[in-house]
Structure 1
Amino acid sequence: MRFLSFHAGDGTTHLGVETDGGIVDLTAAGGADGLPVSATALAAGGPDALDAVRALLETGPPATSVDGLRLAPAVPDPEKIVCVGANYRKHSAEAGLPVPENPIYFAKYRNSLAGHGQAVAIPAATTQVDYEVELVAVIGRPAREVSPSEALDHVFGYATGNDLSARELQTRTSQWMYGKILDGFAPLGPYLVTADEVPDPQQLELRTWVNGAIRQDANTSDMVFDVATLVSDLSQAMTLQPGDLIYTGTPEGVILGTAERIWLRPGDLVECEVGGLGRLSTTLVEG
C-alpha cells in the first residue's frame, strides 16, 4: 500500500492512502475502528492499522486527485532522523573517502523535512548545495538490540529521500552535521510504501535528475552496510521507535564528485526516485 501526508485546508496534516480512484483521506475518517490518522500512528499500528485501512476501503469511501493536494513530508513527525554517510562504495571513491569499517552516522531534525513539490530555499550561509538520492527506511515495531536477521521485521516501509547538503559547511570540521541540518534539506516522499511491496531493499534502482538531466543512476546493491545491518547496529545503541527515519546513504554521481562542481542554484529542479517508491521533486529558490 502507498500512503502520503498532505496539508489540509484547516492547517492540519492529514494521512491519505492511494487507491485506483485517487487519495482517500484517512484522518477525515475520524480514526474509528483503529484507523490511523497520521504516518507515525500508521507505522506504530502495523498489520492491525493496515487491516483497518483495508476495511475502510471496502466501503468505497470518497477519493480525491493527488494533483489537488499540497503534500507534506511522507512522515512529518518522526522522533529521530538518522542519516548514513559514505555508505556506497562508488560514492566513497568519488568523494575521496575510504570505505568505512563501521557505519558513519549523523542526524537531521524535523526542520529539515520537506514534502514533494515543496520549494526549498538556499540560505546565504552556503553556495555549495548538492543533491543525494537515498532510500529511506521507516521503522514500524520498536527495535532494541535486534539481530540483522530480524531487523527488517521492524521496518514498516520505505520512501524516497534527498539528503541535500551544504558542502562547505559539511566539511569545515570533521563533524558533518552543520552542513546537513538546513531548513528543508531533507525532502521525503511523495509516498510511504509498505515493506511488503519492497521484497528486497538491496535491489532498488536510485536515480537523480537536475533540470531533466540524469545525474545519479545506481542500485542499492552497492551499499556497504545494508538496511538490515543499519537497523540492527542502531538498535544496539538506542531504541528505534515507530516513524523513525533512516536515510541510508547516496550512490555515486553527486556534484562533489565532479571536476566542474557546478553547485545547485535557485531555479534548479531536482528529482529523485528509488525503485517504485515514487519520484520526489524539489525546486531550489533563493533564500
Structure 2
Amino acid sequence: MRLVSVDTDGTEQPGAVVAAPDGTDRLLDLAGIAGGLSLAQLLADDTALAAARLAVSGADAATLPRLDDVRLAPPVRPRTILCLGYNYRGHIEGHNEGLVEGDQGGDAAPYPNVFIKTANTIGGPNDPVVMPAAATDVDYEGEIAVVIGRTARNVAEADAMAFVAGYTLFNDVSDRGWQNRSSQWALGKSVDGFGPLGPWIVTTDELPNLGGLQMEVERGGVVTVRASTDAMVYGVAFLVHYLSQVITLQPGDIISTGTPARSVQEQSVHLPLADGETVTIRVTGLGELTTTFVRTDER
C-alpha cells in the first residue's frame, strides 16, 4: 500500500493512495478505519492495518477524489530522525575527489556514520523549504527513509525487518556553513523545515526490501545523482539492529539511509541552492518528491 497523511484544516488523518483507471492517483480516506489513530499509530496496529488493506483492495478508485486536490502532511512525524553519512560505495568524505560516476570502490567503515536531525526539520511533501537569512550555504541530499512500524529495542538483525513498516523519500537539506562550524553536524542539519518527507509510505508488503532500486536526483531538471540501492554499505536490517541497541525506536521514527555520490561535474563546482530552485528525488517503486527552495530575509 501507499499510505499518506492528509491535512484537513490543521488535522492530520491517514489515507491510502489508489490508482484510478485513468492513471491518476486517488485518495481513499482511512479516518473511519483508523478511529482517531495517526498514520504512525495505524502502522503499529495490526488490526487497523489489515482493515486498511481490505479497504484498498475493495475501493472503486474512479469515484475517489484526486490526490492532487488535497493537502498532504508529512506521512509521519518522527520523534527520532537518524541519518547515515557515506552509506553508498563511492560516496566518501571529502566530496569524492577523482571518482568517476558510478564508482563502487573504497573500503566500508567499520561502523555506520550516524547523525541526527531534529523533529522541527520535518516538512510535508509539497511544502517549500524556506531558507532563512542565517543559512547561506544550503545543500540537498536525496535519500530513502526507513519508517519504523513497531517499538524496536535491542532487535536481532534476523528479526529486524518485522519492525519496519515501509519506506518513503527524504531530502536531507543542510546548511554547509553551519554544519562545518564544529565537528558535530546537528545545527547545519536541523534548520527549521530542512527535512521534506513523503509523499507517501510504501509498505513492506508491496516493497519488501530496498534491493535493486534505481535512484535519481535532479536539481533544476539536471540529473546530479544516478545510482542503485545495491551500492548501500549497510542494509536496513543491520541498521535497525545496530541502532536499536542504544536507542529505542518508536512507530513513526525514521532512519534515512544516506545519499549516493553526485556526478563528477556536480561535485566539481559547489553552488548553494538559490531562491526558486527545485530538487526532485525519484526512486523506483517509491515515486518522487519535488521540493522548491525559497529565500527569506527573516532571521
- What letter corresponds to residue 25 of structure 1 in structure 2? D
Cα deviation for residue 233 of structure 1 reads 0.2
Which residue among 153, 158, 167 is the counterpart of 2:162?
153
Instruction: Tell me the distance in 1 between the aligned counterparts of 2:208 and 2:148.
Output: 16
Which residue among 102, 115, 129 is the counterpart of 2:138?
129
Taking a change above 3 Å as real, the CA distance of residues 126 and 153 of structure 1, as seen in their structure-2 partners, is same
- Between 152-161 and 78-87, report the one with greater CA deviation: 78-87
Provide the residue aligned with 2:12 in structure 1.
Answer: 13
Superimposed CA distance per residue, residues 233-264 of structure 1 (whole angstroms, 9 cap, x where no aligned partner): 00111221111111111110189971211121
Provide the residue aligned with 1:187 in structure 2.
Answer: 196
In 1, are the aligned partners of 2:96 and 2:261 still within 8 Å (CA)?
A: no
How big is the alpha-carbon RMSD for the aligned residues of Structure 1 and Structure 2? 2.2
SS in 2 for 1:19: strand
Provide the residue aligned with 1:245 in structure 2.
Answer: 254
- What letter corresponds to residue 19 of structure 1 in structure 2? V
Provide the residue aligned with 2:207 in structure 1.
Answer: 198
Unaligned runs of 5+ in 1: none
- What letter corresponds to residue 29 of structure 2 in structure 1? D
In 2, are the aligned partners of 1:215 and 1:254 still within 8 Å (CA)?
A: yes
Structure 1 residue 83 corresponds to structure 2 residue 83: yes
Superimposed CA distance per residue, residues 134-174 of structure 1 (whole angstroms, 9 cap, x where no aligned partner): 11000112211112221111101000111011112112211
Provide the residue aligned with 2:38 in structure 1.
Answer: 38
Instruction: Tell me the distance in 2 between the aligned counterparts of 1:48 and 1:94.
Output: 48
Which residue among 26, 32, 52 is the counterpart of 2:30?
26
Superimposed CA distance per residue, residues 211-235 of structure 1 (whole angstroms, 9 cap, x where no aligned partner): 1111111111111211111110001
Question: How many equivalent residue pairs?
Answer: 280
Cα deviation for residue 189 of structure 1 reads 0.7
SS in 2 for 1:241: coil
Provide the residue aligned with 1:70 in structure 2.
Answer: 71
Instruction: Tell me the distance in 2 between the aligned counterparts of 1:99 and 1:123.
Output: 36
Cα deviation for residue 30 of structure 1 reads 6.1
- Between 265-274 and 11-20, report the one with greater CA deviation: 11-20
Taking a change above 3 Å as real, the CA distance of residues 192 and 256 of structure 1, as seen in their structure-2 partners, is farther
Cα deviation for residue 48 of structure 1 reads 2.3
Taking a change above 3 Å as real, the CA distance of residues 249 and 59 of structure 1, as seen in their structure-2 partners, is closer
Cα deviation for residue 273 of structure 1 reads 1.6
Instruction: Tell me the distance in 2 between the aligned counterparts of 1:181 and 1:79.
Output: 14
SS in 2 for 1:90: coil
SS in 2 for 1:89: coil
In 1, are the aligned partners of 2:88 and 2:259 still within 8 Å (CA)?
A: yes
Taking a change above 3 Å as real, the CA distance of residues 212 and 95 of structure 1, as seen in their structure-2 partners, is same
Instruction: Tell me the distance in 2 between the aligned counterparts of 1:136 and 1:204.
Output: 13
Instruction: Tell me the distance in 1 between the aligned counterparts of 2:243 and 2:265.
Output: 27
- Between 93-102 and 79-88, report the one with greater CA deviation: 93-102
Superimposed CA distance per residue, residues 94-149 of structure 1 (whole angstroms, 9 cap, x where no aligned partner): 62598432112111122111111211111112222111111100011221111222
- Between 106-115 and 254-263, report the one with greater CA deviation: 254-263
Identity %: 41
Structure 1 residue 141 corresponds to structure 2 residue 141: no
In 1, are the aligned partners of 2:169 and 2:286 still within 8 Å (CA)?
A: yes
- With the length of structure 2 as denominator, give the TM-score of the two structures: 0.87
